[in-house]
Amino acid sequence: MRQIDVHQLADTARFNRFHALILFWCALIIIFDGYDLAVAGIALPSIMKEMGVTATSAGFMVSSALFGMMFGAIFLGTVADRIGRRRAIVICIALFSVFTAAAGLTSDPVSFSITRFLAGLGIGGVMPNVVAQMTEYSPRKLRGTLVTLMFSGYSVGGMLAALLGKGLIESYGWQSVFLAAGLPVLLIPLVLRALPESMPYLIRTGQTAALQSVVSRLAPSHRPQAGDVFVLPADDGEARAAGGTPIRRLFQDGRGVSTVMFWVAFFMCLFMVYALSSWLAKLMAGAGYSLGSALTFVLVLNFGAMLGAIGGGWLADRLPIKHVLIGMYALAAVSITLLGYPMPTAALFVVVGLAGASTIGTQIVTYAYAGQFYPMAVRGTGIGWASGVGRSGAILAPIVIGVLVGMSLPLQQNFMAMAIPAVIAAGAVSMINHRRSASAQAEVAAPVRAAVREA
């Protein structure tokens, strides 16, 4: 009887069509997710004008989705380890598609906020699940690149919202960009068919035939034998045998301080991301730019985010990911601060792109680091809690910046308020104990497993 470590099998597999399909579907889901999230910021000036709300009230309206995202990330990220990740992803798609479209049918701030909260449950819940899915099935040498490439779909969704927003809002009103968000619900049957289930879930529920099928596609060189037993890495298996809640495991084996530091980093980075996503168009319009030009800044922000995510992931596969993140947070502090100062338009576009690369792009790399840090069996829980706790920063950002905008402060002070969290996040990442990460322990254990096989 052979024991097949599915974690090691995924680590050492060569990239193939199976990985490409997972990357395609996860990226497509994130594109829809990014569109649904960015659409509120794109339409915000028009919504404020039509509904007659103040900047502070608009901040609360935008934060309703982010409040839902906090609950969605924690609950749907954790429950996926119990009901299966594929099922959790489908629930999220249904939530964010249906209720974002429903927001386009509202005509008052309260109804809009309620539907955006419900959509936020799906928007927040899908993020930790697709990160865990891509991390679980990616070869170790390409993991950072594939996860960040997948998550760059978030920026593509933001750019899609900006591009569609220019034409649709002027021609059909702000409601049209929300109604368009209902289309992804039609893809749910294809997602159920195309995405594989999580391997720990298949092992736990005894679905051996399904697991054998997944493994044969994941690593075609693997030759199944009668009596093969698929197992999790030693630390995952021992923890499951001992019982206990997945949340408690985030603080075991010396991971406690690092878990808290991930929460701090997520909070600060998401504050910056949603401050920019929600208010950049409005701030630039207030600085004298037309609506079209202001939306172009949002487009550049997301294009920079895509380049930052892919570039950050590429660096993270070649340099210590912790050091890459610290450098990206430092760039965020500088670039966001510069946004508040006068400069030529061409230079401003460059700075906006750098701000996108070092905020949205950095958040994506932070997700990748969290995915590599936690063991496979609690990966969804670890990412979900970090994302969920971080959502409180996302919730506060539109409100805090909305209050500042309402106070008519100088533009420089608005952007400085967005930049301070970058410094705090850099300090938090520097305190993460990388030696306690699952990826570092796997690197240490690999030679030992090889020696055992040879013996």
Phi and psi angles of residue 438, each rounded to the nearest 5 degrees, phi first? -65, -35
Q: What is the pLDDT of residues 419-433, one digit of tens each?
A: 899 999 999 998 988
Q: Which amino acid belongs to residue 176?
A: S
Q: Kindly tell me if the per-residue pLDDT of 247 is higher than 80.
A: no
**Picking from 43-47, 286-290, 300-304, 449-453, which range would have the lowest pLDDT averaged per residue?**
449-453
Selected residue with higher pLDDT from 169 and 453: 169
Q: Is the pTM of this model over 0.85?
A: no
Whole-angstrom distance, CA of residue 10 vs CA of residue 236: 15
CA atoms within 13 A on the CB side of 92: 35
Read off the pLDDT of each residue in 114-118 and give the average, rounded to a whole number: 91
Q: Kindly tell me if the per-residue pLDDT of 353 is higher than 60.
A: yes
266 confidence band (pLDDT: 50, 70, 90) = very high
Q: Kindly tell me if the per-residue pLDDT of 357 is higher than 80.
A: yes
Read off the pLDDT of each residue in 445-453 and give the average, rounded to a whole number: 43
| C-beta separation of 280 from 298 below 8 A | yes
24 confidence band (pLDDT: 50, 70, 90) = very high
Q: What is the pLDDT of residues 279-305, one digit of tens each?
A: 776 677 666 666 566 667 777 887 888
Q: Tokens 């197992």 correspond to what residue?
A: 231
DSSP letters spanning 76-123: HHHHHHHH-HHHHHHHHHHHHHHHHHHHTT--SHHHHHHHHHHHHHHH
- Taking each helix axis from N to C terminus, what angle separates 153-172 and 345-373, rounded to the nearest 10 degrees? 130
Q: 391: which residues sit within 8 A by CB, 6+ positions away? A: 66, 67, 69, 70, 73, 124, 270
Structure tokens at 421: 């969290």
Read off the pLDDT of each residue in 119-128 and give the average, rounded to a whole number: 86
Phi and psi angles of residue 307, each rounded to the nearest 5 degrees, phi first? -65, -40
455 confidence band (pLDDT: 50, 70, 90) = very low
| C-beta separation of 182 from 100 below 8 A | yes
Whole-angstrom distance, CA of residue 258 vs CA of residue 98: 37
Report the CATH number at residue 130: 1.20.1250.20
Looking at every residue in the chain, the average pLDDT score rounds to: 79
pLDDT for res 327: 93
Domain count within the chain = 1
- Counting residues of the chain whose pLDDT is more than 70, the rounded percentage is 85
Whole-angstrom distance, CA of residue 203 vs CA of residue 189: 24
Which structural domain, as residue segments, surrounds residue 352?
Answer: 3-223+231-454
Closest CA to 264 of 380, 159, 393: 393
DSSP letters spanning 430-442: HT--GGGSHHHHH
Read off the pLDDT of each residue in 158-170 and give the average, rounded to a whole number: 77
Q: What is the pLDDT of residues 190-243, one digit of tens each?
A: 988 888 888 888 888 888 788 888 888 888 777 766 666 767 655 454 444 444
Selected residue with higher pLDDT from 168 and 227: 168
Helix H or strand E segment including 231: strand 229-231
pLDDT for res 332: 92
The SS3 assignment for 235 reads helix
Helix H or strand E segment including 5: strand 3-5
